[in-house]
Homo-oligomer: A and B are copies of this chain.
Amino acid sequence: MYKIMECVPNFSEGRDKQKIEKIVDCFRGRDNLKLLDYSNDEDHNRLVVTVVGEPYELIDAIVDAIGNAVDLIDMNVHKGQHPRMGAVDVVPFIPIKNITMDEAIDFSKIVGQTVAEKFDLPVYLYEKSASDLNRENLAVIRKGEFEGMEEKMKLPEWQPDYGPLEPHPTAGVVAIGARMPLVAYNVNLGTNNLEITTAIAKKVRHIGGGLHFCKAMAVSIENRNITQVSMNLTNFTLTAIYRAHELVRIEANRYGVAIVGAEIVGLVPMAALIDTAAYYLGLENFSMKQVLETRLME
């Protein structure tokens, strides 16, 4: 029973190809580790890497990559559209196979302690690894960004979980933690009225009284003259894709608006879609053990 963990680190470098490759190289040519994707955005000036593998090999690679990013990136001259607080902005660990959330939390803490000591980097544990309710939400930790972090860290409640009590002079701070796989799911609506779609998005999402593990916003798709409810499902095992889909349909009905399509952005775990198929077919007594690929990966 081999364990597989995923990591999606975000680095604050989206323009300098040489620096990007030096960071990404840390994930290449390793046994039991697979670099699934990396993409840099020049406007955001940000690099997002997706890598999966055996947890200790993954830890080894991510510590190397954080070291390279601390060496290569100077946040004092960093500009980009995406909010950020450090050379390595955020490092989420996601349990994929034969690994519990508690284990993923433990691994995230090992990485936090290691990079704090090795690179003099203040570390905030976030999401499931958070030491405090106030630190679960990345946006709350990141508020003030790199430039405001020195002042913010003087507040006793913003002492880091590991590392020095002030930001690294060039690399700032980093958030590290474990979280569930996230499904980015968008539903297209047959209206160009963004007001209607915003009203629907607000009802479907958690803070508006909607589904627990659903974040949602409305987006215009101007070249198609339609709008979209753009969602992040942060725990697909409890807030299933089909439930979000049908709730959008129900709310759209009130406006006489129809669903005209949908999309999954990026990677999605097999179970999230198979669960959806099982719902629509009304499958009885179905087990993921019946899926050939589940057995092949055992």
Residues of A within 8 A of B (CB): 4, 6, 34, 36, 52, 96-97, 181, 188, 241-242, 245, 259-264, 266-270, 273-274, 276-278, 280-286, 290-298
CB-CB < 8 A to A296: which residues of B? 4, 34, 52, 96-97, 297
CB-CB < 8 A to A284: which residues of B? 188, 261-263
Closest residue of chain B to A260 (Cβ to Cβ) is B282
In contact, B293 and A270 (Cβ under 8 angstroms) = yes
CB-CB < 8 A to A281: which residues of B? 241-242, 245, 262, 276
Nearest chain B CB to A32 CB, angstrom units = 11
CB-CB < 8 A to A181: which residues of B? 292
Of B96, B262, B276, B283, the residue contacting A262 (CB under 8 A) is B283
CB-CB < 8 A to A267: which residues of B? 290-292, 295
In contact, A291 and B277 (Cβ under 8 angstroms) = no
Also in contact, A292 and B268, with CB within 8 A (given A263-B284, A284-B262): yes
CB-CB < 8 A to A96: which residues of B? 292, 296
CB-CB < 8 A to A282: which residues of B? 259-262
Closest residue of chain B to A265 (Cβ to Cβ) is B290
- State how many copies of this chain the complex holds: 2
Nearest chain B CB to A191 CB, angstrom units = 16
Known contacts A96-B292, A263-B283, A263-B284; 19 further A-B pairs (Cβ under 8 A): A52-B295, A96-B296, A242-B277, A242-B280, A245-B281, A259-B282, A268-B290, A269-B291, A269-B292, A269-B293, A270-B270, A270-B293, A270-B294, A273-B278, A273-B291, A274-B274, A274-B277, A280-B280, A296-B297
Q: Which of A6, A261, A278, A281 has the most CB of B within 10 A?
A: A281
Nearest chain B CB to A288 CB, angstrom units = 10
Closest residue of chain B to A188 (Cβ to Cβ) is B284
Also in contact, A290 and B264, with CB within 8 A (given A34-B296, A284-B188, A296-B4): yes
Could you tell me the distance between the alpha carbons of A286 and B264 in the complex, rounded to whole angstroms? 7
CB-CB < 8 A to A277: which residues of B? 241-242, 273-274, 276-277, 280
In contact, B270 and A292 (Cβ under 8 angstroms) = yes
Could you tell me the distance between the alpha carbons of A34 and B262 in the complex, rounded to whole angstroms? 37
Could you tell me the distance between the alpha carbons of A33 and B249 in the complex, rounded to whole angstroms? 46
CB-CB < 8 A to A291: which residues of B? 267-270, 273
Nearest chain B CB to A100 CB, angstrom units = 18
Could you tell me the distance between the alpha carbons of A269 and B292 in the complex, rounded to whole angstroms? 5
4 A-B pairs with least C-beta separation? A276-B277, A273-B277, A280-B280, A277-B277
